[in-house]
Amino acid sequence: MPGSAGGRDFAMVLAMSDNSVDPSGNTEAFRAFTQSPPPEPTTSKTPLIITGVAVAVVLVAVIVWLAVS
């Protein structure tokens, strides 16, 4: 009878794949982890923001000048 205490209805847990590699798991992985090059620094977005603000100010000035004249 399913669900009875004497039956053999056990849940089976399937193993999940491990996508991350533990660098301390073996010597080769640890050496690759410690010898990896540092990530390259990201470029600053400040010049892009300043340019965008300058363009916006010029556009507003042109629109105001056209509206006044």
The 10s digit of each residue's pLDDT in 20-30 is: 666 666 777 77
Q: How many angstroms from the chain centroid is the CA of residue 18? A: 19
Amino acid 52: pLDDT = 96
Amino acid 69: pLDDT = 85
Q: Do you know the residue count of the chain?
A: 69
Distance CA 67, CA 63 (A): 6
Q: Give the DSSP per-residue string, 3-69.
A: T-TTS---PPPPPPP--SPPTTSSHHHHHHHHTSPPPPPPPPSHHHHHHHHHHHHHHHHHHHHHHH-
Residues of the chain with pLDDT under 50: none
How far apart, in Å, are the Cα atoms of 50 and each of 60, 61, 64?
Answer: 15, 16, 21
